[in-house]
Chains A and B, each alone.
Chain A
Amino acid sequence: MPAGKITVLICDDSLLVRKKLREEIEKSFHDCEVLDAADGEAAIRLYKENNPDLVFMDIVMPAKDGITAVEEIKSYNRQSKIVMLSSVGTQKHLKEAIQAGAFEFVQKPWKDGQIEAIIRRALA
């Protein structure tokens, strides 16, 4: 874990998912900043402005889908750590996410403690 404050970017077109994920992260990490975006375009812009430690990215979104957004963030910063978070956990989607450069794949709904464990693993 990096010493001090961590910054996490959430990208999901669902307000509910953004709210619940933010609550989950803030519950586990008191010294953190959570940013959120509702589509891939906004996520790329926020990433470039804030350089977050970790990104949670949905796949199916309007404007720009999650796989394309991951590819663009990865081409901007090869060291970026991105977790795909999707309701669709097919082998095809998993493969696409890994090929795009995702660090991990979480199928919704996430389980208790899963988000905290992923953040700790990603930032170890």
Chain B
Amino acid sequence: MFSQYFGNYLLNKGLIDSDRLREAIDLQNSTHLKLGVLAINAGYMDAAQVDEIHEKQKQVDKKFGELAVQMNYLTNIQVEELLSTQKTGSLLLGQALIDKGYMTLEQLQTALEEYKKDYSLDNKQFNALEHDDIETIIETFVKLEESPHRKIYKDYLVLFVKNIVRFLDESPMIGKCLPLEQFSPEWFVRQEIHGDINLATAISADGKTFLHIGNKYAGEQSTWVNELVRSSVAEFLNLHNGIFLVNLSDAGLDVDLKPQTVARDTPLVTGPGFAVPFHLSSGQFHLVMAGV
């Protein structure tokens, strides 16, 4: 999943075009992660030092780790640590881009540093992101600090990601959330939670993605947003909210669901809230969470 986030970041920053990114993603599975890339990612070495060792390897038949220790860039413990993470695969995209000649080590180092800076990630958070830790991904992309229901919103989103994987069989990529003032839905299905917590939830998408979600959940192949597709997206939200309510109930909260409504090209009237973009294979949709 990290490859999707980092790949999308490189694309948005104009550091790579979509054709080359697609090519590098295809190449990932057969790519061998090299120690130099891991050392840069871990912050133990910079690109110039890695290049220096690569040059040295053209002269002496020694392994990268061996030379790095000899030149005092790495300790033996650091080499062992990097070797143990060599198979995690989280940086395979970066390695594939380098192998294809689409990025230099320096460009990868700068991009990784900028990525961490842009999302205010320390090394621990970045590590969690690389290992597809859903909670960290949500904390990184959805800034909930100001929300009075921070914990509930976070739990809701973590469960939602799991349910996309379970019921839509997709690995979603989360984008930076939007305030609702900047949000104009095309198709949407909305359902309210009432009781100890009052929350309006909605799934919103353009026709193509709405159709994709509906077909995926229903296991059907409709060609337009008909009643079956609308009821399928609505049922997916209902199912997710139902599981969430069971979790809330287990935590001692008394909550209930209202029936879902599906609409097109009408304003989604709610209290203050936000829309979280989710990227699927077919396009983007938003999950809306707001007060009522």
Contact = CB atoms under 8 A, between A and B. Distances in A.
Main SS class of interface, B = helix
A23 B232 CA distance: 16
Given A16-B228, A16-B232, A61-B259, A108 B239 contact: yes
Interface string B213-257: 000011000000001100110110011011101100100001011
B176 interface: no
A89 B232 contact: no
B239 to A, nearest CB: 5
B150 interface: no
Nearest to B245: A88
B246 A90 contact: yes
A64 B78 CA distance: 66
Interface string A83-124: 000111111100000000000000111000000000000000
Contacts of A14: 231, 234-235, 238
Nearest to B214: A16
Nearest to A108: B239
B32 interface: no
B62 interface: no
Given A87-B243, A92-B249, A60 B258 contact: yes
Contacts of B231: 14-17
A13 B257 CA distance: 14
Contact of A19 (B228, B241, B243, B246): B228
Contacts of A87: 235, 238-239, 241-243, 257
A19 B245 CA distance: 25
Nearest to A17: B235
A61 B242 CA distance: 13
A14 B261 CA distance: 11
Interface of A: 13-17, 19-20, 60-62, 86-92, 107-109
Q: Kindly list the 5 A-B residue pairs having the minimum CB-CB distance in the complex, ordered from nearest.
A: A87-B242, A90-B249, A15-B231, A88-B242, A16-B231
